[in-house]
Homo-oligomer: A and B are copies of this chain.
Amino acid sequence: MARVVGLRRRFNVGSLATATDPGMLRDAAAELLATAIFVFAAEGATVSLGRNDEHMMMYQGGGGRLVAVALAHALALAAAVACTLNISGGHVNPAITLGALLGGQVCLVRSLLYWAAQLLGAVAGALLLSIATGGALLPEYALAGGVVSGWQAAVLEAAMAFGLMYAYYATVVVSPRRVQGQGAVAAAPLALGLLAGANVLACGALDGAVMNPARAFGPAVVGSRRWRSHWVYWVGPMVGAGLFGIVADHLVVVGRTVAGEEEAAAAPNCGRRRRA
């Protein structure tokens, strides 16, 4: 009960007027660009390595392709987070945005803008890839038949997104403010990118290891337009990252000292610091 009250107190709707603030629109543009770059490189690696219809067939052949795809995810996500960390906060993932919203780090208005930007960016990245390759069919995310069911895959995705959200909190949110712009510049991209790469190596052959609704959404819109297992890549990451956002105060110290200092500065621009 106290928990729910605490959550409600932390949950921040924000002012709708800020949605047209040039600073916030620029942050959303950064998210759009970074998500497009990430989806372009990650999906491109998958397309390049084999023109199969589904991710699964490619991964089960052997180690070489899985390593290539995992590396592409790790490298591209680390680069995308490094690009946006000092601009929009380095989300590049609707699930991370949800976790940050439920943890009181960003307000609802900003979250809605980020979600729209991330989905648009993912579609743009996939579209560019499709056009440039002359309409190559982008592979569809699907479950390894007979190995994992939809709910098992959703649990896997939730667990991996929970871990990603933990990495986000531990490297971006926990850091005292003066460190945030310096060491964190290197630690957060690495932690998020490397963890995503490791998870693709771990679960890529089971359910694709998406951990990011936008990553699945963009290629699905542009490519196959089959939505059979698509819910897994929304429900799993959103539940996992959102859950971490709710319990974050108990697991990592975002606590009084730092958050108190943040809150005053955060109010006017809806939960994101401005660059000095």
List A residues at the B interface (Cβ < 8 Å): 23, 26, 29-30, 33-34, 37, 40-45, 47-49, 59, 62-72, 74-76, 78-79, 82-87, 128-129, 131-134, 136, 147-149, 152-153, 155-156, 159, 163, 166-167, 170-171, 174-176, 179, 181-187, 189-195, 197-199, 201-206, 250-253, 257-258, 275-276
Contacts and interface: CB of A to CB of B under 8 A. Distances in A.
Contact of A48 (B85, B175, B182, B201): B201
A233 to B, nearest CB: 15
A204 B41 CA distance: 11
B275 A82 contact: no
Given A74-B75, A134-B149, A258-B275, 16 more contacts: A34-B166, A37-B163, A67-B71, A69-B201, A70-B71, A71-B197, A71-B201, A75-B194, A82-B170, A82-B190, A83-B171, A131-B155, A134-B147, A179-B182, A181-B183, A185-B186
Contacts of A199: 41, 44
Contacts of A206: 48, 132-133
Contacts of A34: 166
A275 B251 contact: no
A190 to B, nearest CB: 6
Copies of this chain, how many? 4
Contacts of A43: 202
Contacts of A69: 201
Contacts of A30: 170, 251-252
Contacts of A205: 48-49
Contacts of A71: 67, 70-71, 197-198, 201
Given A133-B147, A167-B79, A86 B175 contact: yes
Contacts of A85: 187
Contacts of A203: 44, 48, 132
Contact of A64 (B62, B76, B79, B250): B62
A31 B84 CA distance: 26
